[in-house]
A and B are shown apart, each in its own frame.
Chain A
């Protein structure tokens, strides 16, 4: 079997899903036997090449994420939404209950720690927040989802091992479904 290409990408999440991925511990050796990790926050890959599997953590919160997820979709044969934020927005989506302006003002302008001096960051190289946070599936077709905040390391490893061995995982049947 030729080695597969695997990427893991961190969008609008807290990196907790990636921490859980690292919690597969020595089983990472089983993963790298079957796949090269070509881009990830934990390896030094720059551009996303064509990959067999992309594990994507986090929701779509900005223009940058939006562009990125479209690019990932183009490059990845199998796109997996990793974690509650990617699957259903979770904590990242909690700002959706309020108008965006109210939310950023609360943090950058009105927070007591700003001593009345706060202003909105507005540098051209900064990303632009979208009005509403959305899950990956609202922008692109997602091939598989792993809910959980974070998903258990065992569940992540199970899903990876299944895909890397050309099998289709089933979280329901294996009783690995979990939110929160």
Chain B
């Protein structure tokens, strides 16, 4: 396939067409922050962290859903981008109830890492402190809506990789919630196969196995990517 020239952060690159800016950047070790992206499942461009500036386009573009075109001029780390990434990260913390000190994910959480990377030392917006459900009805797993950032990685992995479509979404705005089946307890699900893929796909301490306690959660989202790759190769 013919390669096309692009300029990313002033670096001249020859890349395959039909690829997203994110894919190209990752291949060339250019760091892009992501949260809703998980390699192996469909990109939906919802978290707005992977923002890049493209010359000639006024608005910021999501790298995970924008394809490269010939002679595209892309910047990935401008002050404008950093400003919005920090705001977005702070809003994740302000929207639900993240109490890292008592969280299973403490110390191995993608949201914490994101906070450190974007330099969040305090939250400049008032916390909403919503009253959120903790669904413990499943025999092995817990769904704690306090810590969900609505990346929908669980929804997509359950639908696209496991083929079960247990998870979906209800409501809009800050009332939006992940639901099991038709908004019934997870333990009563007739679709969940208890495979645990959602648990590994989830970037935070929102989905976790009952067998662990504070700070012990170790997730392996790369397992999803590997599984999808192997299926493609019919391994």
Contact = CB atoms under 8 A, between A and B. Distances in A.
Interface of A: 81, 84, 87-91, 93-94, 96-98, 132, 135, 137-138, 142, 145, 147, 149, 171-172, 175, 177-180
B93 interface: yes
Contact of B126 (A90, A138, A178): A138
Given A177-B115, A177-B121, A180-B106, A88 B101 contact: no
A171 B121 CA distance: 8
Question: Chain B interface mostly helix, strand, loop or mixed?
Answer: loop
A88 B122 contact: yes
Interface string B106-135: 110000100110011111001101111000
B112 A179 contact: yes
B101 A172 contact: no
B102 interface: yes
Nearest to A136: B122
B122 A94 contact: no
Nearest to A173: B119
B121 A149 contact: no
B121 A145 contact: yes
A138 B93 CA distance: 16
B127 A89 contact: yes
22 contacts: A84-B101, A87-B121, A88-B122, A88-B127, A90-B99, A90-B100, A91-B99, A91-B101, A93-B129, A94-B99, A96-B127, A97-B97, A97-B131, A137-B122, A149-B100, A172-B116, A172-B119, A177-B115, A177-B120, A179-B112, A180-B99, A180-B106
Contact of A147 (B102, B122, B130, B215): B122
Contacts of A96: 127, 129
B103 interface: yes
A5 B122 CA distance: 26
Nearest to A85: B101
B101 A145 contact: no
A37 to B, nearest CB: 25
A132 B121 CA distance: 22
Interface string B18-35: 000000000000000000
Nearest to B121: A145
A94 B99 CA distance: 8
Contacts of A177: 115-116, 119-121
Given A149-B101, A180-B101, A180-B112, A88 B93 contact: yes
A163 to B, nearest CB: 15
Contacts of B129: 93, 96-97, 132
Contact of B100 (A132, A138, A145, A180): A180
Contacts of A91: 99, 101-102
Nearest to B103: A180
Nearest to B214: A180
A84 B121 CA distance: 10
Give the one of B99, B119, B130, B215 with max A CB within 10 A: B99
A39 B215 CA distance: 34
Contacts of B120: 177
Contacts of A145: 121-122
Contacts of B121: 87, 145, 147, 171-172, 177
